[in-house]
Amino acid sequence: MTSMTVGNTAMQRPTDATATGAAVDIDQVAVRFHTKKKDVTALTDVSLRIEPGEFVSIVGASGCGKSTLLKLVSGLLRPSSGQVRLHGEEVRGPRRDIGYVFQRAALLEWRTARRNILIQAEMRRMPKTQARQRVEELIAMTGLTGFEDAYPNELSGGMQQRVALCRALLHRPPVLLMDEPFGALDALTREQMNVELRRIWRETGTTVLLVTHSIAEAVYLADRVIVMTPRPGTVAEVINVDLPVERDYGQTMAAPEFARATGRIRDLLGATTTAE
């Protein structure tokens, strides 16, 4: 493991050549949905600036528009007002320069793990040899070695999510969007995936936006945690996580800074604060 050599902070990370300024810039965005019975304001007055290479978690009550925020960044959804910019460029339609991971792995049942990852390359018409090489790289990086030729129904939930992660990383996206990627996993697997995601993030240097329901996960992984208010969702507070870049899982959980950050988030979310 090359932990020593990649031990630089997120701020010092070499940025993408085209990325001048913020990786993601959300400027006074509002989203309103119109249904037959009523109009719903999902997001209102959200402004956010995410630096290249940063890891940002988003937490908030169910239905506060966390997932909507990711859809805005990816261009799958247009804001009702305001503007979203990706590397200084306004997002107008589905963006190809992102990677997306959903709660469900959303794998194609008729393809093996490797070919599920390769679909990304096929859709983008990437050169075959280059894509193959990249797949092998990712398989090794995410610990999928030995499972390349397994079908999704033969893989555990954690393994399926690794495949989804590989697929999202294949084209080296400067921005990775993750929508509760570990929400369906059991607690132990989830912790393991957190540790691995932290490592993979440091190896790839990608900007990550992670939506999660787990406060511990949000704090352990991120440089900053965005806490959102209930609907209509807006940014309640941005918590800077002042933990070392090198984060051992057990030690991090016991760190006073971890307790401070999670405690503050719990207060904001209105959850009952129990003794920590």
Partner 1 sequence: MAAQSTIEQRERPASPSGPTSTARRPAGAGTTVARFVRKTWRPAAVLVAIFVVWWAVTAANLVKPYLVPSPGRTLDVVLAQSGYFAHHTWITSYETVLGFAIAIAVGVLSAVVMVYSPTIEKSLYPLLLFAQVIPKIAIAPLFIVWLGFGLTPKIVVAVLMAFFPIVISTVTGLKSIDPEMLQLSATMGAGPAQTFRKIRFPAALPHLFAGLKVAATMAVTGAVVGEFVGANEGLGYVILQANGNLDTPMLFAGLLIMSLLGVVLFVVVELLEYFVLPWHASRRTDAVTTSL
**Cβ atoms of residues 53 and 36 within 8 Å:** no
The yes or no reply on residue 100 touching partner 1 (CB under 8 A) is yes
Between 3 and 240, CB nearer to partner 1? 3
Which of 127-135, 151-159, 211-219, 237-245 is the region at the interface with partner 1 (rule: CB under 8 A)?
151-159
108 binds partner 1 (CB under 8 A): yes
Number of residues that bind partner 1 (CB under 8 A): 39
| 233: amino acid identity, one letter | G
Choices 32-40, 83-91, 114-122, 260-268; region in contact with partner 1 by CB under 8 A? 114-122
Task: Give dist(CA 40, CA 44) in Å, integer.
Answer: 11
Taking the complex as a whole, the smallest distance from the CB of residue 205 to partner 1 amounts, in Å, to: 18
Closest by CA position to 266, among listed 211, 227, 221: 227
Question: 204 or 229, CB closer to partner 1?
Answer: 204
Q: What is the C-alpha to C-alpha distance for residues 271 and 213, in angstroms, rounded to an integer?
A: 12
Binding mask 194-233 for partner 1 (x = CB under 8 A): -xx--x----------------------------------
Task: CB nearer to partner 1: give 190 or 224.
Answer: 190
Q: Judged by CB under 8 A, which of 44, 57, 68, 120 binds partner 1?
A: 120
**CA-wise closest residue to 67 among 239, 213, 245, 188:** 213
**Is residue 124 a contact residue for partner 1 (CB under 8 A)?**
yes
Work out whether 76 is an interface residue with partner 1 (CB under 8 A).
yes
Q: Which is nearer to partner 1, 102 or 201 (CB)?
A: 102
**How far apart are alpha carbons 96 and 99 in whole angstroms?**
8
Answer yes or no whether residue 153 interacts with partner 1 by CB under 8 A.
yes
> Distance of alpha carbon 28 from its chain centroid, rounded?
21
Q: How far apart are CA 179 and CA 269, in angstroms?
A: 19
Write the interaction track for partner 1 spanning residues 7-46; mark x where CB under 8 A is met and - where it is not: ----------------------------------------
Asked if residue 127 binds partner 1 (CB under 8 A), the reply is: no
Beta-carbon-side half-sphere exposure of residue 248 (alpha carbons within 13 Å): 4
Strand order of the β-sheet with 224-228 is 98-101, 175-179, 207-211, 55-59, 224-228, 235-240
| Dihedral angle over CA of 75, 78, 83, 85, nearest 10 | 0
- Of the candidate residues 32, 49, 151, 264, the single one contacting partner 1 (CB under 8 A): 151
Taking alpha carbons only, the member of 50, 31, 49, 27 closest to residue 40 is 31
Q: Does 74 bind partner 1 (CB under 8 A)?
A: yes
DSSP at 125: T
Binding site for partner 1 (CB under 8 A): 1, 3, 71, 74, 76, 94-96, 98-100, 102, 104, 106, 108-110, 119-120, 122-124, 143, 146-147, 150-151, 153-154, 156, 158-159, 189, 192, 195-196, 199, 248-249
